[in-house]
Structure 1
Amino acid sequence: MRLERVLVIGWIAILWRGNTEEGEANLEVQVLPGRIPIIDVDGEIDHYVVPELESKIMAFINEGHASVILDFSDVSYIDSAGIALIILSIQRSGPLGGKVGLVVTNENVIKILEIVGITKLAEAFSLYSSVDEALASMTGERPSGNE
């Protein structure tokens, strides 16, 4: 596993690429000042990827970011470990007054979320079709079209 860190004044971006037995997973984290952390995951969210993803999400929550946006717009598959991680994120952010915004565009992933009932957790969770929509809703900012 290789971890690359890039620090730039005003924002942080972390790119993680891990070779697993099942293939590659990409995880990118971005935090702009005054904004909610955005964790962008490409590929499949399975038990190989979840430990690193959980580490990043919990680090943000422990640092005082009550809300987080999980950009799963490029996720093609999610297993029970990924579902459990979403539920854990909701459980940790809710008591802090935060919310988990989940960006999902893959119909199969949306169907899985609906089947397990996550989409009914309206108080601490929202499903969005784009990062701009999630940011606008969760921060009250107008969409920029740059995300």
Structure 2
Amino acid sequence: MKYSIDKAEKYTILTPEVEKLDSLKAPQLKTEFITLFQAGTQNLILDLSQVKYVDSSGLSAILVAKRLADESEGHFVLAGLNEHVEKLVKISKLESVLNILPTKQEAIDAIFLYEIEKDLEQDGE
């Protein structure tokens, strides 16, 4: 599966460069998530702007990323969902579990806000 990774100081953006995130691509995506978090990623943005279709195994891979981010006390944000993918997320009742934002820039802003809040909580302890 083709994808790009953009690492910044506070976050990593993973962008699958495929139209379908299905049972053929999901295992590879899960492996990449695990590798990223083992390498120290805490905050991950999954940019799905190029993905037009996601099936249940794709959603399962996305939930793995969410769990890994939670375990590393980080933040996971989905960005750039098209109408079909967003509908599937809502049908699956995952919109309350996942942090979904319309654009990559809004996702980056959310990560910075999360980091500021985390720092403030630590300072207050």
Q: TM-score, normalised by structure 1?
A: 0.70
Greater share of residues in helix? 2
> How far apart, CA to CA, are the structure 2 residues paired with 1:98 and 1:107?
27
Q: Judge conservation of contact 1:27–1:53 (CA < 8 Å) in 2.
A: no
Q: Judge conservation of contact 1:87–1:118 (CA < 8 Å) in 2.
A: no
Q: What CA deviation, in whole Å up to 9, does each residue of 1:63-108 have, x standing for no partner?
A: 2212211000111000111011111111221122112110133111
Report 1:1-147 matches (<5 A): 18=1, 26-32=2-8, 34-42=9-17, 43-121=19-97, 125-140=98-113
Higher RCO by CA contacts (8 Å cutoff, separation 6 or greater): 2
Greater share of residues in strand? 1
CA drift of 1:28 comes to 1.1
Q: 1:71 to 1:117 in 2, by over 3 A?
A: same
Which 4+ stretches in 1 moved above 4 angstroms?
none
> How far apart, CA to CA, are the structure 2 residues paired with 1:83 and 1:45?
8
Q: What CA deviation, in whole Å up to 9, does each residue of 1:40-85 have, x standing for no partner?
A: 1131101111122112111111122122110001110001110111
> How far apart, CA to CA, are the structure 1 residues paired with 2:84 and 2:53?
8
Percent identity reads 21
Give the partner amino acid of 2:16.
Answer: V
Q: TM-score, normalised by structure 2?
A: 0.82
Give the partner amino acid of 2:53.
Answer: Y
Give the partner amino acid of 1:127.
Answer: I
> How far apart, CA to CA, are the structure 2 residues paired with 1:100 and 1:132?
14
